[in-house]
């Protein structure tokens, strides 16, 4: 039974995924039932149908080759990550000796805590590679745990949630030419924004069926509907900001100032506030869809798991943001690929955007989420809810991308365009 599971899993991963490194062997994907000639005339019969035996051999061969190549690349990436961590360790040791020489007055425990936050001594490309390696290790451990704990669900999980695979095994974008990867992201994120706005408006006006049956929860339901109505009006206020305000501040800054009281507090944030427990479920669903893309599992996933995935993504953004700020990385030095990747993680990217636009938006992101809060905290001693701030920025840039005329989702905008109004 275990042997059957290993073989079937190998075949499934091999055909679902394709290695992304230089060691990829471009083997054709074999679909069961398709006609794939392997050995010339000897592989076909008189009816012109493909020989099942040759199809099976090609299927197994392609799957094994892809599995082996992906495993080699995963191991090679692990070795390079160790080299990068070695460079970080050497840098921290030199920095520790410098601090000890300067006699900063810190205890060994305090110095160790400060050194743990230092990620210097490496380039931005190396830091991004290290982050991806860390993410791949986590995915690999999840696969091992799932294969051990729920082997029967393993193939279905990979089928409906291919993002769970490590980078070398991740499926490549469909290159059929119908839409680009950037266009697909723009379309899916625009649809997620529209569904979220409709859900906010609906929850503010319509009483759920189950809530009508609860005769003791009318006040609570009314309060929730008032909160959703207030949220909807706040979003409308941001989208219809007057030109005089936009000329003084960018719209992202206006969005952050609108909820300033929730972002900065004189007292420490509670765990529930840090974990976004007070963010409406429909907003959590929309944010998760923009990050992960639509998949069937989100419909049955509990809210705490959805928030956990969002917080994991925000933590990754926090690490990258602090590296860019603390190491004083010049955004003009980022290549187009790195810039596109950084902006896509923050929902900034969209079809037709130039590198100059992306750098401007990325700098605004860093100012609003890192630079300005740090300066304010040093002056006032307030506490800042980083998770909520980045959630708001993700929502804002998703909304901004959906409203952009260059968005891949064109029909919703055309419906409200002045050119298409019926006289």
Q: How far apart are CA 196 and CA 316, in angstroms?
A: 24
Q: Can you read off the two tokens belonging to residue 18? A: 């394709």
Range from 156-170, 205-219, 242-256, 272-286 that averages highest in pLDDT = 272-286
- CA-based nearest residue to 283, from 234, 326, 214, 330: 234
Output the 3-class SS for 163-212.
HHCCHHHCCCCCCCCCCCHHHHHHHHHHHHHHHHHHHHHHHHHCCCHHHH
On whether the CB atoms of residues 77 and 169 are closer than 8 A, the answer is no
Q: Would you give the DSSP letter of residue 44?
A: B
pTM: 0.81
On whether the CB atoms of residues 73 and 168 are closer than 8 A, the answer is yes
Classify residue 60 as exposed, middle or buried by CB count within 10 Å of its CB (0-12, 13-18, 19+): middle
Degrees to nearest 5, angle at CA 341 with 20 and 159: 50
Tell me, what's the pLDDT at 40? 44
pLDDT at 46 exceeding the cut of 70 = no
| Dihedral pair phi/psi, residue 69, rounded to 5° | -65, -40
Q: Cα dihedral sign for 229, 277, 319, 261? A: positive
Which tops the pLDDT comparison, 16 or 228? 228
Tell me, what's the pLDDT at 245? 60
Tell me, what's the pLDDT at 23? 36
Digit-coded pLDDT (tens) for 174-216 = 656 678 888 889 999 999 999 999 999 999 998 887 777 777 8
- CA-based nearest residue to 139, from 254, 33, 13: 13
Mean pLDDT of 114-119: 86
Which tops the pLDDT comparison, 137 or 247? 137
Digit-coded pLDDT (tens) for 289-311 = 999 988 877 888 899 999 999 99
Tell me, what's the pLDDT at 14? 53
Q: Can you read off the two tokens belonging to residue 237? A: 């206020």
Q: Cα-atom radius of gyration of the chain, to the nearest Å?
A: 26
Digit-coded pLDDT (tens) for 387-410 = 999 999 999 999 999 988 888 888
Digit-coded pLDDT (tens) for 136-177 = 998 889 888 888 888 888 888 877 777 788 888 877 666 566
Q: How far apart are CA 270 and CA 381, in angstroms?
A: 17
Confidence grade of residue 243 (pLDDT, cut at 50, 70, 90): low
On whether the CB atoms of residues 386 and 318 are closer than 8 A, the answer is yes
Question: What is the 3-state composition of the chain as percent helix, strand, coil, each rounded to the nearest 5?
Answer: 70, 0, 30
On whether the CB atoms of residues 173 and 181 are closer than 8 A, the answer is yes
| Dihedral pair phi/psi, residue 265, rounded to 5° | -135, 145
Confidence grade of residue 230 (pLDDT, cut at 50, 70, 90): very high
Q: What SS3 class is residue 232?
A: helix
Tell me, what's the pLDDT at 204? 92
Tell me, what's the pLDDT at 244? 58
Which tops the pLDDT comparison, 421 or 116? 116
Average pLDDT value over all residues in the chain = 82
Q: How far apart are CA 274 and CA 259, in angstroms?
A: 15
On whether the CB atoms of residues 238 and 363 are closer than 8 A, the answer is no
On whether the CB atoms of residues 148 and 333 are closer than 8 A, the answer is no
Q: How far apart are CA 21 and CA 387, in angstroms?
A: 34
Tell me, what's the pLDDT at 57? 82
Q: What SS3 class is residue 408?
A: coil
pLDDT at 123 exceeding the cut of 50 = yes
Tell me, what's the pLDDT at 418? 61
Q: How far apart are CA 334 and CA 393, in angstroms?
A: 22
Confidence grade of residue 248 (pLDDT, cut at 50, 70, 90): low
On whether the CB atoms of residues 365 and 393 are closer than 8 A, the answer is yes
């Amino acid at each position: 039974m275990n042997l059957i599971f290993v073989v079937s899993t190998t075949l499934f991963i091999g055909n679902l995924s394709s290695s992304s490194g230089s060691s990829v062997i471009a083997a054709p994907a074999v679909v069961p039932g398709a006609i794939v000639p392997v050995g010339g005339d000897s592989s076909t019969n008189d009816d012109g149908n493909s020989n099942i035996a040759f199809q099976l051999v090609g299927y197994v061969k392609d799957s094994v080759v892809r599995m082996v190549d992906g495993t080699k690349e995963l191991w090679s990436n692990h070795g390079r990550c160790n080299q990068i961590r070695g460079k970080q360790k050497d840098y921290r040791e030199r920095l520790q000796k410098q601090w000890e020489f300067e006699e900063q007055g810190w205890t060994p425990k305090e110095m160790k805590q400060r050194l743990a936050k230092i990620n210097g001594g490496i380039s931005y490309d190396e830091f991004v590679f290290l982050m991806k390696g860390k993410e791949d290790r986590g995915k690999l451990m999840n696969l091992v745990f799932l294969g051990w704990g729920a082997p029967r669900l393993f193939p279905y999980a990979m089928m409906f949630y291919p993002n769970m695979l490590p980078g070398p095994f991740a499926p490549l974008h469909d290159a059929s030419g119908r839409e680009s990867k950037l266009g697909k992201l723009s379309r899916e994120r625009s649809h997620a924004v529209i569904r979220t706005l409709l859900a906010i408006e609906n929850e503010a006006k319509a009483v759920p069926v189950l809530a009508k049956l609860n005769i003791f929860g009318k006040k609570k339901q009314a309060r929730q509907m008032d909160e959703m109505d207030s949220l909807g009006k706040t979003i409308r206020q941001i989208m219809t900001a007057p030109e005089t305000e936009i000329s003084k501040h960018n719209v992202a800054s206006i969005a952050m100032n609108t909820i300033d009281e929730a972002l900065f507090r004189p007292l420490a944030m509670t765990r529930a506030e840090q974990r976004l427990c007070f963010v409406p479920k429909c907003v959590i669903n929309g944010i998760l869809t923009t990050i992960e893309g639509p998949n069937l599992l989100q419909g049955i996933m509990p809210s705490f798991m959805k928030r956990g995935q969002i917080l994991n993504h925000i933590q990754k953004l926090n690490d990258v943001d602090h590296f860019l700020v603390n190491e004083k990385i010049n955004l003009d030095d980022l290549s187009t690929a790195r810039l596109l990747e950084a902006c896509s993680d923050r929902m900034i990217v969209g079809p037709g955007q130039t590198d100059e636009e992306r750098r401007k938006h990325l700098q605004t992101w860093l100012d609003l989420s890192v630079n300005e809060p740090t300066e304010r905290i040093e002056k006032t001693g307030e506490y800042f809810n980083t998770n909520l701030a980045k959630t708001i920025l993700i929502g804002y840039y998703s909304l901004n991308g959906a409203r952009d005329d260059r968005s891949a989702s064109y029909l919703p905008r055309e419906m409200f365009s002045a050119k298409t109004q019926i006289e």
